[in-house]
Amino acid sequence: MKAPSLGEFEELVLLMVAAQHDEAYGVSILESLEKQLDKKVNVSAIHVALKRMVEKGFITSRFGGITTDRGGRRKKFYVITAFGKQALDQQYSIRTDLYQQIPEISFN
Partner 1 sequence: MKPSPPYRALKFLRWFCREDFIEEVEGDLIEVFEYQYKQSPKKAKSKLIWTVIRYFRPEFIKAFNLSPNSTTMYQHNFKLAYRNFFKYKSTFFINLIGLSTGLACALLISLWIADEQNVDKFHEKDARLYQVMHNIDLGNEIRTLEWTPGPLIEALDQQMPEVENVAAVFPPSVHTFKGALAHDDIRMKASSKYVSSDYFSIFSHPILAGDKDQLLKEKYAVVISDQLALKLFGSTDNVVGKLLKWEVEGFSGDYFVSGIFESMPSNASIQFDLAFNYDLYASKNPELNRWSYNDPCTYLTLKEGSDVKAFENKIAGLIKKNDPESKGTLFLRKYSSQYLYGNFENGLEAGGRISYVILFSVIAIFLLLIACINFMNLSTARASRRIKEIGVKKSIGAKRSDLVIQHLMESVIMSFLALFLAMLMVTLILPEFNVLTGKQLLFVFSSEFIFTVLGITLITGLLAGSYPALYLSGITPISIFRGSSINSLSSLWIRKGLVIFQFAVSLVLIVMVFTVSKQMDYIQTKNLGYDKENVLIFNETINNDASYTSFKHQLKTVPGVLSISSISGDMTTGDRNNTTGIMWEGRSEDNLVDFSDLVVDFNFFETMNIELLEGRAFSEEFNSEKNKIIFNETAINQMGLVNPIGQTVRLWGKEKQIIGVVKDFHVESLYKTVKPSFFRLSERGMNTLVRIEQGKERETIEALQDIYKEKNQGLALDYQFIDDAYDKLYASESRVSILSGYFAGIAILISCLGLFGLAAFTAEIRLKEIGIRKVLGSGNTQIVLLLSNEYTKMVLIANLLALPIGYYLVNNWLGSFAFSIELKWWSFVGAGILSLMISWLTVGIQTVKAAMINPVDCLKDE
List contacts with partner 1 (CB under 8 A): 25-27, 30, 42-45, 47-48, 51-52, 63, 69-71, 73-76
20 or 47: whose CB is closer to partner 1?
47
Say if CB 82 and CB 61 are below 8 A apart: no
Residue 8 C-beta: closest distance to partner 1, Å: 18
Residue 48 C-beta: closest distance to partner 1, Å: 6
19 or 45: whose CB is closer to partner 1?
45
67 or 86: whose CB is closer to partner 1?
67
CA 31, chain centre distance (Å): 13
Residue 79 C-beta: closest distance to partner 1, Å: 15
CA 88 – CA 90 distance, rounded (Å) = 5
Residue 95 C-beta: closest distance to partner 1, Å: 28
Q: How far apart are the first and last CA of the chain?
A: 47
Return the SS3 of 81. Answer: coil
44 or 106: whose CB is closer to partner 1?
44
Pairing of strands 59-63, 76-80: antiparallel
CA dihedral 10, 96, 34, 44 (to 10 degrees): -10
